[in-house]
Amino acid sequence: MSHENLFAEYPMLKSGRLTLKKIEESDADDLFAIYGNERIFRLRPGKARKNIDAVRNMVGHFERDFKKRKMIFLGIYLNEGGKKLIGVAEMFGLDKKVNSITIGYTLNEEYRGKGYASETAGLMLGFLFNKIGINRVQAFVMPENVKSGKVLLRNNFKKEGTLRECEYWTGKGVVDLEVYSILKNEYGNG
């Protein structure tokens, strides 16, 4: 496959416990449990949404960003118990010249510490390296977000360092970010 196939259709990625797929408007309540939580937004860009209507609008924005070939938002769903949405996975910043992409993930607080973030990152890596042919996958993490850094290290990312006061994040201002990456030739060589 190629970069063009990244946006050909919404990916559906599956593991034993999780499915990553397109987020539907019917997921608004579960999505609001994530995007309406102030504590979650302490360590990620943006601000918590104040009401469910704002979250419903986000679903349309996710679709728009996909159609513009800008960003992919995938819901993280449990395979058991009614396919509940427990988080959001993100793939963005495709650089065709470098053959790289950035990933991110956000989980509902109730589902943290159960290995779902690591499993989500692993699903995205398999898709990006094996199906799309990406060479470099990277992630940016606030230094205070130690748990997210550990998720990346468990998936064989290497911590490249800290970019000091490098980016403006809505709701945070100018922030320091730790950079983690993994190259295709390192994937699966844990």
Task: Report pLDDT digits (tens) over 123-172.
Answer: 999 999 999 999 999 999 999 999 999 999 999 999 999 999 999 998 89
Rg value, the chain, Cα: 16
pTM above 0.85, yes or no: yes
Count CB neighbours of 95 within 10 A: 13
In the predicted model, is pLDDT for residue 1 greater than 50?
A: no
Q: 164: left (phi > 0), else alpha (psi -120 to 50), else beta? A: beta
The arrangement of secondary structure in 3-135, i.e. its CATH architecture, is 3-Layer(aba) Sandwich (3.40)
Decide if 75 contacts 23 (C-beta within 8 A): yes
Q: What is the pLDDT of residue 81?
A: 73
Residues 123, 104: Cα–Cα separation, whole Å: 12
Decide if 137 contacts 124 (C-beta within 8 A): yes
Q: Where are the domains of the chain?
A: 3-135
Q: pLDDT-derived band of residue 189, with 50, 70 and 90 as boundaries? A: low
Q: Across residues 182-186, what is the average pLDDT?
A: 97
